[in-house]
Amino acid sequence: MKKIVFLIVMLFGVKAAIAQFGLSAGISTLKSFTTPTPFFGFHFGGEIPRDDQLSFYGRATYYLKQMDKPINQLFVFSSDPSLPGKLINYQNSMDYFIIEGGNRYYIGNGYDAGFGAYGGGNMMFVFNTVKRNYDYGNVSQAQYPLPSTEFPKGSIFNLAVGVGGGLKYTASAVGTFYFDLSAAYMILSTANNTTAQGIVNTLYSPLIFNFSLGFRKDLY
């Protein structure tokens, strides 16, 4: 994942040396049909205009973890044979890290002047980290170790395609303020263990909606 981010940054860095280049950052929310409240996070990215009506962009967004509502239970045995087994509670949590890229077609005043609107398609690499948060009460995990079949953490890798659009205002010598939204569908998903698989239909959804608000500064 770090290598992918590094390659994207390097690509934009090389391109910035020979063309106009926009750096952007802001806040984001993510909503799906399975979560009652949205995920909140932040993003940063880059954009390269080919002309005033077309640009290519890349963005990395991290959404803070959210706790699942159901309280689950797990039976664990003590490392001391003289002590009885115990039921412990746990809740699942999950976050999002999204790397996306695509194109934008501008209407109105175009890429770097006044008011305008834009829309286009994108592709996303979506990474989910799933974690089980155990409540041991008045005993310790060292005293009641997890069974070998229990995985405290898991991950899901997804490939998604989507469409998006937004509005922007460019103030001369200041920069561009923008608001955009997108919808994406996971066309490929792979979970690495049963913990990650168990989050499906609770916090995880193959269809997601992203909303972002931010500021872009163009370099020449």
What is the per-residue pLDDT for 211? 97
Q: Which of 171, 159, 37, 151 is closest to 100 using CA atoms? A: 159
Task: For 87-117, write each residue's pLDDT tens digit.
Answer: 889 999 999 999 999 999 999 999 988 999 9
Task: For 12-51, write each residue's pLDDT tens digit.
Answer: 555 544 468 999 999 999 998 888 889 999 999 999 999 9
Query: How far is it, in rounded angstroms, from Cα 61 to Cα 82?
Result: 50
Half-sphere exposure for 49 (CA within 13 Å, toward CB): 19
% residues pLDDT > 70 (the chain): 91
pLDDT at 4 over 90: no
What are 99's two structure tokens? 């790397």
Residue count of the chain, please give it. Answer: 220
Query: How far is it, in rounded angstroms, from Cα 63 to Cα 100?
Result: 14
What sign for the dihedral angle of Cα 155, 161, 167, 171? positive
What is the per-residue pLDDT for 10? 56
Local confidence band at 8 (pLDDT 50, 70, 90 cut-offs): low
Taking the CB of residue 180, how many other CB atoms lie within 10 A of it? 21
The three state secondary structure string of the chain is CHHHHHHHHHHHHHHHCCCCEEEEEEEEEEEECCCCCCEEEEEEEEEEECCCCEEEEEEEEEEEEEECCCCEEEEECCCCCCCCCEEEEEEEEEEEEEEEEEEEEEEECCCCCEEEEEEEEEEEEEEEEEEEEEECCCCCCCCCCCCCCCCCEEEEEEEEEEEEEEEEEEECCCEEEEEEEEEEEEEEEEECCHHHHCCECCCECCEEEEEEEEEEEEEC
What is the per-residue pLDDT for 16? 45
Mean pLDDT of 163-182: 95
